[in-house]
């Protein structure tokens, strides 16, 4: 056989010790006898982000040090010039990074800064307290977190423990107290500017290395005070669908009992004791309202809905959040079969389930996110709650008239839970033409993220927000630190673009579950450096948070 071009090269393994010139820092790199200097430079360039042309590799040549050429075999002991450290240099910014939103997500982003011992940030929210629209405005005092504490808390990261002093399903007020406690413990509040409505921004030095943004703010207390500030980047966590959907029925004035929204503390549940109640809508809020009505000893509950959405018993949610790998939708449905059977239902027959005949290849695609809770099933089992399929046409005294001619009589209260619609003001504020991945108009300095509002999955890795939040907050932080990696990722052209769609009432800032998960998968696949950061928050980590001490059993 002909010898390889350039001659036979030794593949015998050895170690190359690389020392940084002028420092004691050194690194051992496994190489072979024939490894060239260029290969070592490339490895160090990948790790540090310093270009190979800016490095010099020196080795002893007689009494002096001499520079090795890229084609030279690398020596086993070399000194490198042109880098200060093997740790990658983070991009420094002259102005703070702005976080907009002090809900769960914005607060988690602030914690990511704190975890990196970085105080170059400022958080704005138009509320006068932290907690976000979800927990300050939408939730009722009777609301509870529906997913389990292990995977829903602000301390969800490798640097903190799950709170020990809270119930597994904390109430709204306990959760808000937890948010405050964590922010106090981490000393974050001096970096928060509350009652500050960020109205618009302007790009300064566009296209230059020192591009930054002027924010225009107005005090949300009196609306009079206005001011400006300059920031190096901004990330907005506005919540996903935040404007309550409203509809008034014909004849409401003749109904004779309370008709209210079962949200934002609008309903006096104490007044429902002994009364028959119609809950309209079948999202998580409706499921929660069944529990609240039961807790307040209401009479019969009619759950009036256009179609039945799947909701989830607590143990199934617990199982998914404690799993070491994502659970197939077919297994999720199988686990739900028994409890559905108890209430005379079959989960496989729901509109949200798309399955092959063998029920091996299953997708659950549902507009409403799962309501999670057992009281829904128990109250149906005991006959207290009845699901009524239909749409309300009008109401008259103590009566609901449905489109199909059916009537529900002797109803003394109506609770509306129609969900929410997106806020186009967010797209307008962001000047969003498209969202490339999670970045507005492809600019790595401006990001936005909100929970995906639909369910669309063949597998479920979790039912709770915090595991996702820790990843996306670290993703934004990573690309501010290493913008060159962002350029490389964008240059692949593989990051999906999401455009606003007025006809479908879909602004650009909200991604649905399918596109959102594709985007997150692509980002980590396209940036090897980022994988190192977010891989630590994998399913094993999630299991350890949910069921401490068990991740190592696998």
Ligand X SMILES: NC(=O)c1ccc[n+]([C@@H]2O[C@H](COP(=O)([O-])OP(=O)(O)OC[C@H]3O[C@@H](n4cnc5c(N)ncnc54)[C@H](OP(=O)(O)O)[C@@H]3O)[C@@H](O)[C@H]2O)c1
Ligand Y SMILES: Cc1cc2nc3c(=O)[nH]c(=O)nc-3n(C[C@H](O)[C@H](O)[C@H](O)COP(=O)(O)OP(=O)(O)OC[C@H]3O[C@@H](n4cnc5c(N)ncnc54)[C@H](O)[C@@H]3O)c2cc1C
Whole-number Cα distances in Å, 274 to 18, 79, 413, 420: 79, 83, 11, 29
Contact partner at residue 450 from ligand Y, ligand X, none, CB < 5 to 8 Å by partner kind: ligand Y
Q: What is the dihedral of CA 63, 68, 73, 77, to 10 degrees?
A: 50
For 261, list phi and psi in degrees, rounded to 5.
-85, 140
> C-beta of 447: minimal distance to ligand Y in Å?
13
Q: Please compute Rg for the chain using Cα positions.
A: 28
Which part of the chain contacts ligand Y (CB under 6 A), choosing from 144-152, 320-328, 393-401, 438-446? 144-152
Task: Confirm or reject binding of residue 450 to ligand Y (CB under 6 A).
Answer: yes
Beta bridge partners of 196: 219
Task: Confirm or reject binding of residue 448 to ligand Y (CB under 6 A).
Answer: no
30 burial level (CB within 10 Å; 0-12, 13-18, 19+): exposed
Task: Confirm or reject binding of residue 546 to ligand Y (CB under 6 A).
Answer: no
Q: Which is nearer to ligand Y, 18 or 332 (CB)?
A: 332
Contact partner at residue 48 from ligand X, ligand Y, none, CB < 5 to 8 Å by partner kind: none
> C-beta of 118: minimal distance to ligand X in Å?
31
- Contact residue for ligand X among 93, 179, 191, 282 (CB under 6 A): 282
Task: Specify the DSSP class assigned to residue 137.
Answer: I
Task: Confirm or reject binding of residue 139 to ligand Y (CB under 6 A).
Answer: yes
State the Cα–Cα distance between residues 338 and 147, nearest whole angstrom.
21
- Contact residue for ligand X among 35, 105, 155, 309 (CB under 6 A): 309
State the Cα–Cα distance between residues 425 and 423, nearest whole angstrom.
5
Contact partner at residue 102 from ligand X, ligand Y, none, CB < 5 to 8 Å by partner kind: ligand Y
Which part of the chain contacts ligand Y (CB under 6 A), choosing from 86-94, 238-246, 289-297, 538-546? 238-246
- Contact residue for ligand Y among 25, 115, 197, 538 (CB under 6 A): 197
Contact partner at residue 283 from ligand Y, ligand X, none, CB < 5 to 8 Å by partner kind: ligand X
Q: From start to end of 367-466, where are the E strands?
A: 385-389, 392-396, 399-402, 407-408, 413-416, 420-422, 435-436, 439-440, 446-448, 455-457, 459-460
Q: And the tokens for 454? A: 């639909």
Task: Confirm or reject binding of residue 237 to ligand Y (CB under 6 A).
Answer: yes
247 burial level (CB within 10 Å; 0-12, 13-18, 19+): exposed
Task: Confirm or reject binding of residue 146 to ligand Y (CB under 6 A).
Answer: yes
Whole-number Cα distances in Å, 170 to 102, 108, 180, 433, 468: 19, 18, 14, 39, 20
Of 392, 384, 210, whose CA–CA distance to 291 is shortest?
A: 384
Sign of CA dihedral 376, 382, 387, 392: negative
Task: Confirm or reject binding of residue 451 to ligand Y (CB under 6 A).
Answer: yes
> C-beta of 371: minimal distance to ligand X in Å?
7
Task: Confirm or reject binding of residue 143 to ligand X (CB under 6 A).
Answer: yes
Site for ligand Y in 62-101 (CB under 6 A): 100-101
Q: Which is nearer to ligand Y, 125 or 539 (CB)?
A: 125
Task: Confirm or reject binding of residue 269 to ligand X (CB under 6 A).
Answer: no
Binding site for ligand Y (CB under 6 A): 100-106, 124-127, 132-135, 138-139, 143, 145-147, 152, 197-198, 237-239, 242, 429, 450-451, 464-465
Binding site for ligand X (CB under 6 A): 143-144, 146, 245, 247, 280-286, 288, 305-307, 309, 367-369, 417-420
């Amino acid at each position: 056989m002909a010898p390889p071009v350039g001659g036979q090269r030794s593949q015998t393994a050895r170690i190359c010790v690389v020392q940084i010139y002028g420092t004691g820092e050194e690194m051992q790199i496994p190489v072979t006898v024939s490894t060239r200097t260029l290969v070592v430079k490339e490895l160090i360039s990948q790790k540090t982000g310093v270009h190979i042309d800016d490095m010099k590799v020196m080795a002893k040549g007689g009494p002096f040090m001499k520079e090795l050429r890229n084609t030279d075999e690398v020596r086993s002991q070399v000194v490198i010039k042109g880098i200060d450290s093997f740790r990658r240099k983070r991009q420094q910014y002259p102005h703070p990074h702005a976080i907009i939103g002090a809900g769960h997500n914005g607060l988690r982003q602030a914690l990511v800064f704190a975890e990196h011992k970085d105080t170059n940030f400022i958080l704005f929210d138009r509320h006068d307290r932290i907690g976000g629209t979800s927990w300050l405005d939408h939730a009722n005092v009777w609301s509870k977190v529906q997913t389990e504490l292990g995977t829903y808390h602000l301390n969800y990261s490798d640097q903190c423990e799950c709170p020990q002093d809270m119930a597994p399903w904390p109430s709204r007020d306990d959760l808000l107290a937890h948010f405050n406690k964590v922010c106090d413990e981490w000393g974050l509040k001096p970096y928060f500017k509350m009652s500050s409505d960020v109205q618009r921004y302007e790009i300064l030095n566009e296209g230059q290395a020192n591009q930054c943004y002027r924010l225009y703010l107005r005090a949300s207390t009196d609306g009079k005070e206005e001011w400006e500030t300059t920031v190096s980047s901004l990330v907005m966590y506005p919540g996903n669908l935040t404007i309550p959907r409203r509809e008034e029925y014909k004849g409401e004035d003749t109904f004779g009992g309370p008709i209210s929204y079962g949200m934002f503390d609008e309903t006096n549940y104490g007044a429902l004791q002994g009364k028959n109640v119609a809950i309209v809508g079948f999202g998580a809020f409706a499921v929660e309202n069944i529990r609240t009505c039961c807790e307040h000893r209401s009479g019969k509950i009619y759950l009036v809905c256009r179609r039945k959405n799947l909701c989830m018993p607590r143990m199934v949610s617990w199982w998914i959040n404690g799993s070491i790998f994502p659970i197939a939708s077919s297994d999720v449905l199988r686990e739900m079969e028994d409890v559905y059977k108890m209430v005379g239902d079959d989960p496989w027959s729901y509109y949200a389930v798309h399955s092959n005949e063998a029920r091996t290849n299953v997708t659950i695609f549902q507009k409403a996110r799962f309501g999670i809770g057992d009281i829904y099933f128990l109250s149906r089992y005991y006959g207290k709650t009845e699901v009524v399929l239909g749409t309300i046409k009008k109401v008259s005294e103590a009566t609901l008239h449905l489109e199909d001619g059916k009537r529900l009589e002797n109803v003394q209260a109506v609770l509306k839970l129609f969900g929410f619609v997106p806020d186009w003001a967010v797209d307008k504020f962001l000047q969003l033409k498209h969202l490339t991945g999670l970045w507005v108009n492809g600019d790595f300095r401006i990001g936005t993220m909100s929970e995906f509002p639909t369910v669309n999955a063949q597998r479920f890795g979790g039912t709770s927000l915090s595991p996702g939040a820790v990843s996306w907050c670290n993703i934004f932080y990573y690309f501010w630190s290493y913008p060159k990696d962002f350029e490389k990722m964008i240059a692949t052209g593989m990051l999906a673009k999401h455009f606003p769609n007025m006809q479908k009432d879909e602004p650009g800032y909200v991604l649905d579950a399918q596109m959102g998960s594709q985007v997150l998968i692509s980002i980590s696949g396209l940036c090897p450096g980022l994988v190192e950061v977010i891989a630590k928050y994998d399913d094993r980590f999630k299991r350890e948070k949910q069921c401490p001490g068990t991740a190592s059993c696998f």
